[in-house]
Homo-oligomer: A and B are copies of this chain.
């Protein structure tokens, strides 16, 4: 495979490093308009080719696929250019800056029979995969609700809100676990530090199954929280990504409601049992993600996190942001 990485800012070098270590990736090009970034790459990876203008790559016949890690506003034009040039594309999250752009890319890729993939890295991370396994096994029972926080004193973005910056992670994880998209979204938030760029948001979602989810994102919190609670009818699970060892805990706790046998009788029984923190094998999600992209490009198989996966997250982000900017008005989806 011959692959190029476009955009070598904060995240691009990580993607490059992982591609560099994958055997099937026999030729790599690094591309950024900032020459100082290319120089750093050259020093670190002498065998990687460099290119300042991505347009020069469009006509490179040996190039089969590109991995795009530029600011979100350029995802669409750059992605479109490469699809038109017949290259498979991987786009960092969020996939595009709105639904229309995502749909156009997907249509183009279908016409050209090309792979589109989105960088929802958490869907390749060990704890998220383990939790998917646990949910699918039925161990938690029916999923009642999920509450998640992704907050800390974070790097404020100057072009996108905290919703577009942080919520893609939570949305992609949730939709993956539930295998569903929300039917209703609302959000409350504010722009405290920079005018017109919300830096805190409380997002509510409802699913057709009756499940509800709450997502709290903020760049303005004193301590780092990455905590998700999944409440099921049988058991409950807590996933704390700031924990080093016991990231996932399953609580054998619950409350059962018995239909009153005689009118008016109120019967609940509470269960309390062991807490189990399952062993989770450690591996690098980015490595798995990049390998999966190369595999899909080679076999023309649909990626686990394909463009449609990217689109549904963009749709939800768009709705949440709209609600936030309209006094938390509830958005009915579709």
Contacts and interface: CB of A to CB of B under 8 A. Distances in A.
A236 interface: yes
A276 B276 contact: yes
B253 A238 contact: no
Given A236-B221, A268-B156, A328 B204 contact: yes
Nearest to A276: B276
Interface in A105-137: none
Contacts of A253: 153, 222
Interface in A230-252: 231, 233, 236-238, 242, 244-246, 249, 251-252
Contact of A220 (B144, B156, B210, B242): B144
A61 interface: no
Interface string A253-282: 111010000000010101011111111000
Given A147-B216, A186-B186, A255 B193 contact: yes
Interface in A201-238: 202, 204, 206, 210, 212, 214, 216, 218-224, 229, 231, 233, 236-238
A229 B330 CA distance: 26
Interface residues of A, number: 62
B188 A206 contact: yes
A327 to B, nearest CB: 6
A291 B66 CA distance: 41
A231 B246 CA distance: 19
Interface of A: 46, 144-145, 147, 153, 156, 158, 184, 186, 188-190, 192-194, 200, 202, 204, 206, 210, 212, 214, 216, 218-224, 229, 231, 233, 236-238, 242, 244-246, 249, 251-255, 257, 266, 268, 270, 272-279, 327-330
8 contacts: A156-B268, A158-B266, A221-B231, A222-B231, A222-B238, A242-B244, A274-B276, A330-B330
Contact of A329 (B210, B257, B268, B330): B330
Given A153-B254, A190-B212, A221-B229, 7 more contacts: A145-B200, A153-B236, A186-B186, A193-B268, A221-B236, A245-B275, A274-B276
A229 B222 contact: yes
A272 B277 CA distance: 12
Nearest to A270: B153
